[in-house]
Structure 1
């Protein structure tokens, strides 16, 4: 018994010491990783801010009492004429309401990284780069290279009434939108633009319920059925639910189903295909259509309860 107790005690002490050493080792790695991150962040901030200012100043000039933010603010003020106005959620809602009341077609589509990478194929970015940065595209129904999908999406964007673009100047968002528009000769100033998050803004600002009130609403997308149920429980007159949209190349079949529906407003949550569907619903059927995106998920999960 004494031997067993001694063995157990020794084993426990050894295990405890090993665990402590392991913890110390892991802690050391965490500290090193944090230090590396902070160093990289510091270098990145300099290269993306003060380094640019240093390059613009002559060798005998310094700007010691002005921050990067102040320099940028002054630059933006000087470029005021080049700033492009995006419609607010209230303005988009106003145009949708007008279209609904006058029974006129109106499409509101949105461009995110998936749509922009699809459009960038063999025009802005090389195929291999799109494969690397858009690994999710095949899940969204676009197997790169897919020029047919690109061209069909491009036609929809050009024809759509209101196009949401990313406001953030990140590589595959607003910066890529700029390159894509320029590549295809789409004029930022002649196109009616809004924030690509307008689907959320319409809900947050209380416009969504107003748009649906007293109107027949069609929901389209893989989550159409559960979304229809939640909307109906909230008093929305759901005209129908067209489910299962298997990517861009399934658009024609889906439109065949949509044409058999009687509705006033279509909420389309179908990934990249939503842009083409919303445009087609407006252009071919004379209806109002909103690229609804993941707003559908938020409503179904109860994260965005409908407002009265």
Structure 2
């Protein structure tokens, strides 16, 4: 298991005062921590907070485009080598924070105040409708029986071995300013977690945590699952005409999605269900009994663990598809990406 250290220096403080004033023509630089522009009209008077702002910008600058990610997936399919994509949203980042960034001895809603202090930003707030009170429920919905340090460590190992990690970014159309401020907080916590795991962001590959939706709505998912039907892709990546990789669907709704995808001509290699954090070993054994080229997984935090393990142990492409299963099965009942809207309201 990866080594994780508890960050004990984050604690509640009532001594911080909020930044003063706004700027109609905000300054782009500062001197001795007096005035710094953060990207909005807010003036930052704290050098350490400015450093965090710059680290978050640097992190987002490393997020690959959906075209770049699709290219990596197709290369891995062509070369028959492992490639895993996992995504970290609020539940995953909170799970990793257990007794590392935030103490489990404190009620989870208190973590919102600790996050604000970590960010040195008293304006961070609680998101829309006091989102912090739902944080424990978010972890539970992803399968975590909080507190659960074993799952934390399993997820940390998945992060360490993943080929590409989807992370929250500031491009969230339709979300409120309060929610986007909270995204900044989660990015800061994630940076702290990577540091505690001895992972250097500059040596990692990142995508948008909405990558599962972006791959689908851009049309790339259809091309990845049927590359031989697209002459330019088949030629570029040396796939034979008509080639379709074997697709393994993993998750509690995998059977329903197979019923939708099979009649569309996709090559479904099998279904693995049920899947949860309590049957990881059994699920891995079931996955290993199938012959497939690419696995799409939707099983909360269990999917992150399974994706990384499948790519590493079986040299297959494994993609954390999250709520894409629900979107297709419950809301669309079709595979027409042009008629699909990304449900940003569902995510961080």
**Conserved in 1, the CA contact under 8 Å of 2:164 and 2:207?**
yes
Secondary structure at 1:94 match in 2? helix
- Provide the TM-score with structure 2 as the length reference: 0.65
2:199 paired residue among 183, 186, 191: 186
2:222 paired residue among 209, 228, 240: 209
Cα separation, partners in 2 of 1:48 and 1:265, compared to 1, 3 Å: farther
**Conserved in 2, the CA contact under 8 Å of 1:209 and 1:307?**
no
> In the alignment, which residue of structure 2 is the partner of 1:69?
40
CA deviation after TM superposition for structure 1 residue 303, in Å: 2.9
CA deviation after TM superposition for structure 1 residue 51, in Å: 5.8
> In the alignment, which residue of structure 2 is the partner of 1:260?
289
CA deviation after TM superposition for structure 1 residue 181, in Å: 1.3
**Conserved in 2, the CA contact under 8 Å of 1:218 and 1:239?**
yes
**Conserved in 2, the CA contact under 8 Å of 1:218 and 1:266?**
yes
Unaligned 5+ segments in structure 1 are 1-46
**Conserved in 1, the CA contact under 8 Å of 2:21 and 2:42?**
no
**Conserved in 1, the CA contact under 8 Å of 2:86 and 2:162?**
yes
Structure possessing the higher radius of gyration over alpha carbons: 1
Cα separation, partners in 2 of 1:277 and 1:215, compared to 1, 3 Å: same
- Provide the TM-score with structure 1 as the length reference: 0.73
> In the alignment, which residue of structure 1 is the partner of 2:64?
87
In the alignment, structure 1 residue 270 sits paired with structure 2 residue 299: yes
**Conserved in 1, the CA contact under 8 Å of 2:84 and 2:317?**
yes
Deviates more, 1:125-134 or 1:145-154: 125-134
Secondary structure at 2:297 match in 1? strand
1:297 paired residue among 326, 330, 333: 326
> In the alignment, which residue of structure 1 is the partner of 2:113?
none
Secondary structure at 1:86 match in 2? coil
CA deviation after TM superposition for structure 1 residue 173, in Å: 2.8
Number of matched pairs: 254
1:146-194 C-alpha deviation (Å, 9 max, x unpaired): 1111111101101110011111352663232122112222211111111
Counterpart Cα distance in 2 of 1:199 and 1:62: 39
> In the alignment, which residue of structure 1 is the partner of 2:279?
250
CA deviation after TM superposition for structure 1 residue 220, in Å: 0.3
> In the alignment, which residue of structure 1 is the partner of 2:80?
103
Report matched runs for 1:12-91 at 5 Å.
Answer: 50=21, 69=40, 82=58, 84-91=61-68
Cα separation, partners in 2 of 1:51 and 1:184, compared to 1, 3 Å: farther
Report matched runs for 1:223-242 at 5 Å.
Answer: 223-242=253-272
Counterpart Cα distance in 1 of 2:220 and 2:35: 50
Secondary structure at 1:268 match in 2? strand
In the alignment, structure 1 residue 150 sits paired with structure 2 residue 146: no
Counterpart Cα distance in 2 of 1:62 and 1:118: 35
Deviates more, 1:87-96 or 1:130-139: 130-139
Secondary structure at 1:163 match in 2? strand
1:35-86 C-alpha deviation (Å, 9 max, x unpaired): xxxxxxxxxxxx57836989x799xx999xx9973678xx99x969946321
**Conserved in 2, the CA contact under 8 Å of 1:131 and 1:144?**
no
**Conserved in 2, the CA contact under 8 Å of 1:162 and 1:193?**
yes
**Conserved in 2, the CA contact under 8 Å of 1:130 and 1:144?**
no
Q: Say which structure is richer in helix.
A: 1
Cα separation, partners in 2 of 1:171 and 1:134, compared to 1, 3 Å: farther
Deviates more, 1:160-169 or 1:287-296: 160-169
